[in-house]
Amino acid sequence: MIGIVTTDLSAFPFGDEDLPHLFEALDAAGLEARALHWRDDDIDWGAYDLAVLRSPWDYPFQVEDFLAWTRRVAGVTTLANPAPVVAWNSDKRYLAELAANGVATVPTRYATNPAELGTALVAARAGSPSGELVVKPSVSAGSDLTGRFGVDDPAASVLVERIWAAGKVAMVQPYLPSVGRRGELAVMHIDGVYSHAVRKGPILDSDGRLLGGSYREDIEAAVPSERERAAADDVLARLPGWVTEAGPLLYARIDLVEADDGSLALLELELIEPSLFFPAVPAAAGRLAAAIASRV
């Protein structure tokens, strides 16, 4: 029996659109699976052969509880991706570690106090080709507490104050003009192997709001170039050694953007609960189902 880990999706406008495709693929593979809420204390996780994290999208609001839950579940069954990987990837300060390992990342500064924020804003003013910056928490999902502002817009500091009030670390990044033109390229690997890719349209408006007033993104299937495939492969090749010492990750999503000089940079690495965009590439659900079957 496979436990597909989710949450109360009624709080999310469009639910998890990957799930119907995944359940259909699991059924075709002869695997029985159930959608399970991670906060349901009545579930006997030890009765499941594998627990697959798919859409526990409320975890950033209770991250310590969630990480404790992953450790408990990993003690009674196999959790994919593994609990230590989830803990590492749950905080976007992993970008600093990847940058130190030679991964080209979007320049990022972190701020926990006014002095650090001042340094971050100075760096953003000097390094933003667009004259704009992006503010977000280091622990977040679904663009929560995320905004795009002019480098001198005081609203950016107001958002940082809200992030701090929520007990989180703030991130400041330059806004790259290519995101508005071409969006992001999301490259999916399943079981350590390239699976598929999509291009995601821009979601942040220039006044700090979400485009369209929702978390919905424009998605279309994409065929990455050899250069884009190589950039995604390089990100995974430069992961800390312990991340894959037990074998390839069940899934990974590498979000790439184009820097002002045309080079590719990592925006985010999603190893916890990424949308895998099965509605855009339905065949990919079968690949995930096969990878799940190989672990049972």
Which residue ranges form the domains of the chain, and what is each CATH number? Answer: 2-89 (3.40.50.20), 94-102+178-277 (3.30.470.20), 109-175 (3.30.1490.20)
Give the model's pLDDT for residue 11.
Answer: 73
Query: What positions carry a catalytic annotation?
Result: 216, 253, 270
Query: What DSSP state is assigned to residue 144?
Result: T
pLDDT at 142: 65
What is the pTM assigned to this prediction? 0.93
Residues with Cβ within 8 Å of 98's Cβ and at least 6 positions away in sequence, in order, are: 105, 235, 238, 239, 266, 269
Q: Does residue 265 contact residue 105 with C-beta atoms inside 8 Å?
A: yes
Region 21-33: mean pLDDT is 98
pLDDT(173) > 90: yes
Tens-place pLDDT, residues 70-104:
999 999 999 999 999 999 999 999 999 999 999 99
**How far out from the chain centre does Cα 15 lie?**
16
Q: What is the pLDDT, as a whole number, of residue 94?
A: 97
**Tens digits of residue pLDDT in 35-83:** 999 999 999 999 999 999 999 999 999 999 999 999 999 999 999 999 9
Please give the pLDDT value at position 257. 96
Which residue in 201, 184, 217, 199 sits closest to 281, CA to CA?
A: 199
Residue 96: count other Cβ atoms within 10 Å of its Cβ. Answer: 14
Residue 216 has pLDDT above 60, yes or no: no
Whole-number pLDDT of residue 77: 98
Percent of the chain with pLDDT over 90: 78
**Alpha helices, DSSP H only, in the chain?**
19-28, 63-74, 83-89, 94-100, 114-127, 154-165, 177-182, 226-237, 283-295
Going by the DSSP 8-state scheme, the letter that residue 203 receives in this structure is -
Which has the higher per-residue pLDDT, 232 or 123?
A: 232
For residue 81, is the peptide bond before it cis, meaning its omega torsion is within 30 degrees of 0?
Answer: yes
pLDDT given at position 212 = 42
The distance in angstroms from the start CA to the end CA of the chain is: 9
Average pLDDT value over all residues in the chain:
92
CA distances from 77 to 27, 36, 44, 50, 266 (A): 21, 14, 10, 6, 32
